[in-house]
Amino acid sequence: MIRDALDQFNNFTLDGSIFNNPFGLDAATPGGQTDAQPISLDAIEQISISTAPYDVTLSGFTGASVNAVTKSGTNTVSGTVYGYFRNQDMTGSKIKGESIFVPQLEQTQYGFSIGAPIIKNKLFVFANFEQDKRTDLGQSWLPSGRGGINSSRVSESDLMMVKSALSGIGYDTGAYEGFTHESASTKGIIKLDWNINEDNRLAFVYNFLDASKDKPAHPTAINSRGPNFSTLQFQNSGYQINNKLQSFLLELNSQFDDNVSNKLQVGYTHFDDFRNPFSSP
pLDDT digits (tens, 9 = 90+) for 195-243: 999 999 999 999 999 999 999 988 777 778 888 899 999 999 999 999 9
pLDDT over 50 at 86, yes or no: yes
Angle ∠(108,29,245) on CA atoms, nearest 5 = 70
Most confident region among 15-29, 96-110, 249-263 by mean pLDDT: 249-263
- The pTM for the full model equals 0.85
What is the H or E stretch that residue 129 is in?
A: strand 123-137
Q: What is the pLDDT of residues 16-64, one digit of tens each?
A: 888 877 766 667 788 888 888 889 999 999 998 888 878 777 777 778 8
Q: Cα(95)–Cα(20) distance, rounded to whole angstroms?
A: 38
Q: What is the pLDDT of residues 165-175, one digit of tens each?
A: 999 999 999 99
First to last CA, the chain: 31
147 or 91, which is more confident: 91
16 or 135, which is more confident: 135
Q: What is the pLDDT of residue 2?
A: 41
Q: Where are the beta strands (DSSP E) in 196-260?
A: 200-215, 239-255
Q: In this structure, which amino acid lies at residue 238? A: G
Residue 8 Cα distances to 35, 64, 269, angstroms: 17, 10, 19
Mean pLDDT rounded to a whole number for the chain:
89
Q: What is the pLDDT of residue 1?
A: 40
Tell me the torsion sign for CA atoms 139, 277, 130, 271.
negative
Q: Where are the alpha helices (DSSP H) in the chain?
A: 2-7, 156-167
250: nearest Cα among 169, 190, 180:
190
Cβ atoms within 10 Å of 172's Cβ, excluding its own: 13
